[in-house]
Amino acid sequence: MGRRRAAAVAAAALLTGASVAMAGVIGFVGLAAPHLVRRAAGEDPAKLLAPSALAGAVLLVLADVLARIVPTEQELKLGVITALVGAPMFALVAWRAGRSWRA
């Protein structure tokens, strides 16, 4: 069973990386938004869809505003901001999932 879990986690990580590589870093928002609103909206996918869409839109607007406000010598890309938010969040989600599987 341990090997199957490890294979499932590896497959999920590979598929997530592939989808982000194809869609671009802004696609991270589509993967991150449901995890951000899951506690407030619940686990039901039907109830999670609308809050996820709203959270994704808000996240992109905030990232765009931040990219425009931060003073840099070169223009800061929107994808950089979303990656800075998305990568640590996915690390936290993976850490929590690993911890719950061990329990």
Sign, CA torsion 12/18/24/25: positive
Q: Report the alpha-carbon distance of residue 94 to residue 22 in Å, rounded.
A: 21
Asked if the model's pLDDT at residue 46 lies above 90, the reply is no
Q: Report the alpha-carbon distance of residue 96 to residue 53 in Å, rounded.
A: 23
Q: How confident is the model at residue 51 (pLDDT cuts 50, 70, 90)?
A: very high
The pLDDT score that the predictor gives to residue 103 is 64
Residue-range definition of the domain harbouring residue 24: 2-102
The domain tally of the chain equals 1
Q: How far is CA 89 from CA 1, 25, 28, in A?
A: 27, 14, 10
The pLDDT score that the predictor gives to residue 25 is 66
Q: Give CA 36 to chain center in angstroms.
A: 8
The pair of three-digit structure tokens given for residue 100, joined into one six-digit string: 């719950």
What average pLDDT does the segment 12-24 reach? 80
Considering the entire predicted model, what is its pTM? 0.64
